[in-house]
Structures are given as C-alpha cells and as structure tokens.
Amino acid sequence: MTRYSIKALAFAAALAASGTALADITIGVVAPLTGPASGLGIPVGNQVKLWPKEIDGQKLNVIVMDDATDPTNGVKIAKKFVAEDKVDVIMGSVATPVAAAVAQVADESGTPQLSWSPVALPAGKDKWSFRMPQSNAVMGHAVIEHMKKEGVKSVGFLGYADAYGETWLNDFKPQAEKAGIKFGPVERFARADTSVTGQALKLVSANPDAILVVASGSGAAMPEMALRERGYKGKIYQTHAAATRDLMRVGGKQVEGTFVVSGPAVLAEQLPDGNASKKEAIKFVQQYEKAYGPGSRNQFAGHAYDSMTVMEKAVPMALKKAKPGTPEFRAALRDAFETMGRTTLAHGVLNWTPADHWGYAPETGVMMKVTNGEFKVE
C-alpha cells in the first residue's frame, strides 16, 4: 500500500461569519493505482488531482491510498480511514471485489461510501454505499436493445470469474432470455490470466451470433483478441468497464467493429443536444483533457468528476445538521445523498432514494462502436 495526500491541509479551527466553527471535510480515496485494475485506478487518481479545494466554504482534505487491486488491502485502508483519519466519506474502489470489501467496512462503521464500481451488495448491506457507475442491469438494457436491432439471436459469455463478471452474468442472462436471445455458452477467466485459449476455443466452436466480453481496461482486449485469432467472425460486445482507449491501444485492428456500452461522459461531443448530460459531460472532458491530453478521457475519471458534483449538492445539506469529522455529519451526508433529488451528472441523471442507491434510469447507457481506432456513437 502507498499513500499520498492530494492537498496537505492543516486542521485549523476558524469562525465563519455565522459563528459556526469550520472544519475540513476529509475524503478517503481507495483506488487500484497498481495491480490488474490500475488501468482504471490511475485515471481516477488523475481526476482526484483536479478536484476543488473546498466545498461550501469547507476545505477538502483528500487522502489517497493504493489498494493494489487487492480486497485485503482495501479493507485495511478502509479501516484506517475510519479509525485513524476519521474520514467523512470513503470513495472507491474502482475494482469491484475491493469495492465490495470496502462496503462492509462502510456499513459497520457508519461511513458513507461513494463506490466507483457497480458493486452488487447483499440486501440491506448498502445502507451506507452509493454507486457512481451505472448498474450492470442498466447497461445490459442498452446492450440488449442494440442486439435486437442488429438481429442477434444467440449470445455467448466470456467474463471475469469475480464479482464484476458474476453480476453481469446474473443481470444480463435474464434480459437476454426475455428478449428471445439464446444465452450461452458461459466461460470465465481470472483478471490476472494472460491467456484464454481454452475458453475462446469453446465459444468459437459454439459460434453464437455475438459474444459479450466482461472485462476491464486494457485487460478487456486480450479475450477479444483471442476470439478473433481463433476465427470468431461474429459480433463482440464489451461492457462499460472497457470504455477506455486502452481497448484500442492494446487490441489495435483486432478490436475494430467492437460494440461498447458506456456512460454519456465518454461521448460528450457526440451526444445529441437533447441529452441532459451533454453540457456536464463536455465540462468534464474539457477539464480532464486540458490536464492530461486529447483522448485521455474515460469512464472512470468521469465517475470521480461526478463525485464532486454529488458532494457539492449534498454537503450544504449535511452542514445544516452537523459539523464535519463527527458521526452526526456522516449520517447527515448519507441522508443528503438519499434526498438530494435528481442530479445531472456527466454520466447521466442520478436520483438516489432510500430504496435505490443505484439511481440511473434504464435509458442511461449509450452504445458506441470502435471505428478507425475511435469510439463513435451508434
């Protein structure tokens, strides 16, 4: 584990005009800056560096730690955040297995978590956890609608053998079957695997009309390349965890024609004028690419950007009830997330409620296609 402070801010008491004591809002960020999911975590870390220095007059103290894509590390970091750093909110992780482990600490300690992974949690265990990404069910809806338009009658599955892969499988299979699309075969692989030859051969032999690859970042290219190298000629779909330029950087011409579902932020300029997220998505892209270069945008940096939009709306509500650094403020912040209402983000229109800590409508997902090495809206 490594640690660095984005903004080294001293905890100094000051009196506002109202006479209310000010205190830093402390955010604990846990992200995979190394390890198999570092292709997702590094862009998140980059966006964190662009966060504002304060919200509603309260300084932000941001602590960033590397979970190395390891759930055990994630738990250690989360426990340190709540026990030693007294964070007001935990953000992360991007890797689903780590996000799930962190969610348990958030629940046990009464600390709000803004997850940057579409992590599925047991019933009643997400009281303190809110997802910034779109759910797999929401994104699966966009994929199924596109498959229907493309005339797909059968679909195979090649995905991670972990929480991200399994939640996609559990959410997507019923949607496919309801749409009259034959589902299977199902093949899995580990994030750290460097080959999926056996799995690819089984899928190529079955020859479904399309194959859904469930992987992330640069790791999403390898299974698709294996399918093409073994002669698969059908359509290949990728999930929103693959909505980064790493897919094209690693896969090259072998990923041309791939269909990828994404949140709106990745496609900012291509969105129709009527899309509610277009203005915010363009703001995200402009500030990120000004800092990190043309084409550097991706799905996950967008979630870190949206996290500040959420905080800027919720913090003033929570400050009316309690002071940062206290259990009362953490509870007030959690309540504010649930009651802040419709909030337009770069990645869609969010509306968390006490019964729904996902918040996006089924129409949120946008389909794009890899065309000449670029993502183009379908």
| pLDDT recorded at residue 218 | 87
Domain assignment present for 109: yes
C-alpha span between 44 and 373 (Å, rounded): 23
The three-state secondary structure class of 34 is coil
d(CA 224, CA 256): 10
Residues 329-367 as b or e (16 or more Cβ within 10 Å = b): bbbbbbbbbbebeebbbbbbbbebeeeebbbbeeebbbb
Model confidence at 68: pLDDT above 50:
yes
Predicted confidence at residue 15, as pLDDT, reads: 31
Do 159 and 101 share a structural domain? Answer: no
- Determine the average pLDDT of the residues in 118-142: 94
In a domain, 269, yes or no: no
**56 and 162 part of one domain:** no
In a domain, 275, yes or no: no
Provide the percentage of residues in the chain whose pLDDT is more than 90: 89
Q: What confidence tier does 10 reach under pLDDT thresholds 50, 70, 90?
A: very low
Q: What is the pLDDT of residue 61?
A: 97
Angle between helices 96-109 and 71-80 (to 10 degrees): 30
Q: Would the pTM of this model clear 0.75, i.e. be above it?
A: yes
Is 303 contained in some domain?
Answer: yes
In a shared domain, residues 87 and 192: no
CATH number for the domain harbouring residue 164: 3.40.50.2300
229-252 confidence digits (pLDDT tens): 999 999 999 999 999 989 999 999
- What is the Rg, in whole angstroms, of the alpha carbon atoms belonging to the chain? 21
Q: Is the peptide bond before 93 cis (omega within 30 degrees of 0)?
A: yes
Supply the pLDDT for residue 22: 52
Residue 120 and residue 10 share a domain:
yes
Residue 365 inside a domain? The answer is no
Whether residues 55 and 128 fall in one domain? yes
Q: Which of 21-30, 103-112, 351-360 has the lowest mean pLDDT?
A: 21-30
Is 243 contained in some domain? yes
Residue range 297-348, pLDDT digits in tens: 989 999 999 999 999 999 999 999 999 999 999 999 999 999 999 999 999 9
Report the chain's mean pLDDT, rounded to a whole number: 93
Q: What pLDDT, on a 0 to 100 scale, did the predictor assign at position 119?
A: 94
Among 9-13, 269-273, 291-295, 337-341, where is mean pLDDT lowest? 9-13
7 and 49 share one domain: yes
What integer is the mean pLDDT of 73-92?
98
C-alpha dist (Å) from residue 263 to 4, 13, 27, 222, 260: 29, 40, 25, 23, 10
pLDDT score at 223: 98
Residue 88 lies in a domain: yes
Are 93 and 205 in the same domain?
A: no
Tell me the one-letter amino acid at 58.
Q
Banded model confidence at residue 362, pLDDT cuts 50, 70, 90: confident
Residue 23 has a pLDDT of 73
pLDDT at 51 over 50: yes
**Inter-axis angle of helices 163-178 and 136-150, to 10 degrees?**
40
Same domain flag for 173 and 106: no
Is there a single domain that holds both residue 25 and residue 57?
A: yes
273 assigned to some structural domain: no
Q: What confidence tier does 354 reach under pLDDT thresholds 50, 70, 90? A: very high
Do residue 148 and residue 124 come from a single domain?
no
Tell me the average pLDDT across 84-95.
97
Closest among 198, 201, 339, 351 to 276, alpha carbons compared: 351
Residue in 25, 168, 173, 14 with CA at minimum distance from that of residue 91: 25
Domain count, the chain: 2
Residue 5 pLDDT greater than 90, yes or no: no
Q: Which domain holds residue 334?
A: 3-134+283-360
Tens-digit pLDDT profile for residues 166-223? 999 999 999 999 999 999 999 999 999 999 999 999 999 999 999 999 999 889 999 9
pLDDT of residue 7: 41
Same-domain check for residues 305 and 236: no
Does 337 share its domain with 257? Answer: no
